[in-house]
Amino acid sequence: MNKQATAQSARLLYGSSEYNADILYFSKVFVPDAFIALEVGGKRLGVFGALEYGRMVKESKLDLVLSLEEYQEKAKELFRKKGVGPTEIIRVLAKEYNINNFLVAENFPVGLAFDLKKARLHIQVIKGPFFPEREIKSKAEVLELKQGNAASAVGIRAAEEALRHTIIKGNQLYLDGKVLSSQRLRGLVDIACLQAGAIPHNTIVAGGGQACDPHCIGSGPLRPNELIIVDVFPRLTTSGYHGDMTRTFLRGKATEAQEKLVSTVQEAQKKALSKVKEGITGAEIHGIVVDYFIKSGFITKKVNNHYEGFFHGTGHGLGLDVHEAPRVNASNKEGLKLDTVVTVEPGLYYPGVGGCRIEDVVQVKRNGYEMLSNYHYAWQID
């Protein structure tokens, strides 16, 4: 890459691509330790130690892979000091590429940012998405998301099959002679996801009252005749893209109140999906769900120290992060862009009756959507 004669701005990233989706998007390769990455003059470069250098040359999508050891020596010589770190190496890069302004994301490490400012480098924080183009998913990304959701479906299937093979004894579910707990069922889901090539994280298997707290992962024995929410959002080991699907099950006999709750959520999701298309706002889709729940007699309110009803957004973007832009909620007044990917996941939560959430993933099209997830909606297991 030719170094520029005139001063220029550069995007600067520092962190591990295992944990930072922007850095993974930038490099297209998993690196467990933090590294320096730059986008300057339309080219992408990264600085790696000997442990990773050869692999990065072969596997990364960077235009230029630089040696950390070489730049450490340059920094030692330039600044006449033995101990050099990321700050000094970035200063060398700024000098070599004549960078007068570094653009960083809002989650850029604050300690490094302060050190760079002390070194009189100009740091400009970009508000909002650092790579806005991440919101629009390519055909290749859609294939990854389909694979991620296929892994989610494998996990959900494992949960359903386990529940189907349980025996009801009193107020307990038994599988292979042992009480079936949320933890045990979650383990079966997670193993299935791993076998499908995806790493699960905090899989939700929550029944009864626990299911009424949407992000409670669940613990303790699962009960017959109670609604059980299974929310599976694993990350593909190969690419880092996610799946995110939710189904609700009940082993035993549902009450009329439970049947009404589930059928209302199912219909709300159908209504929301029918409106998904380019240009509609997240707020409009969310409003359709809220209005339908109210008309169906399901009111949202705060009771003592908890909420009941429908008190979360209808959906969110999905990609290298499990929650990313765009949002499908009351605050998103912008029209959905063509080829964005969102979840559609209405839910109702009433202690004493139970919780139900149904979630699928779609890509926004001009006059509708493409479904990226696939699993049936039958929920009662007699």
Q: Is 149 left (phi over 0), alpha (psi -120 to 50) or beta?
A: alpha
Arithmetic mean of pLDDT over the chain: 96
* DSSP code, position 335: B
Q: What is the pLDDT averaged over residues 298-304?
A: 95
Per-residue model confidence as pLDDT tens digits over 225-263 = 999 999 999 999 999 999 999 999 999 999 999 999 999
pLDDT category of residue 7 using cuts at 50, 70 and 90: confident
185 confidence band (pLDDT: 50, 70, 90): very high
pTM of the model: 0.94
**Strands in 92-244 per DSSP E:** 99-105, 123-126, 167-169, 172-175, 178-179, 198-199, 204-207, 227-232, 235-236
Burial of 170 (0-12, 13-18, 19+ CB in 10 A): exposed
Q: What average pLDDT does the segment 54-72 reach?
A: 97
Contacts of 137 (CB under 8 A, 6+ apart): 145, 319, 339, 340, 341, 363
Q: What is the pLDDT of residues 214-223, one digit of tens each?
A: 999 999 999 9
Residue that has been written with the tokens 């035993």 in this structure = 252
pLDDT digits (tens, 9 = 90+) for 313-345: 999 999 999 999 999 999 999 999 999 999 999
Torsion over CA: 100, 106, 112, 114 (sign): positive
Question: Looking at the predicted structure, is the pLDDT value of residue 114 above 80?
Answer: yes
What are the Cα distances from residue 24, in Å, to 27, 28, 30, 243? 5, 5, 7, 17
Q: How far is the C-alpha of 374 from the C-alpha of 380, rounded, in Å?
A: 18
At 255 the pLDDT is: 98
Q: Calculate what percentage of the chain has a pLDDT beyond 70.
A: 99
- Lowest-confidence segment of 36-50, 72-86, 259-273 by average pLDDT: 72-86
- Predicted pLDDT of residue 295: 98
Asked if the model's pLDDT at residue 1 lies above 90, the reply is no
* pLDDT score of 99 more than 90: yes
Res. 109 pLDDT band, cuts 50 70 90? very high
Average of per-residue pLDDT across 47-59? 97
Neighbours of 252 (CB within 10 A): 15
pLDDT of 266 reads 98
- pLDDT at residue 190 is higher than 90: yes
- pLDDT at residue 182 greater than cutoff 80: yes
pLDDT of residue 209: 97
- Return the pLDDT at 129: 94
Q: What is the pLDDT of residue 3?
A: 56
CA atoms within 13 A on the CB side of 344: 32
C-alpha closest to that of 344 among 262, 282, 297: 282
CA distance 316 to 347: 14
Whether 187 has a pLDDT exceeding 70, the answer reads yes
Q: Where are the alpha helices (DSSP H) in 122-181?
A: 139-164
User: Using 50, 70 and 90 to split pLDDT, how confident is the model at 81?
Assistant: confident
Local confidence band at 4 (pLDDT 50, 70, 90 cut-offs)? low
pLDDT, tens digit, 9 for 90 and up, residues 124-142: 999 999 999 999 999 999 9
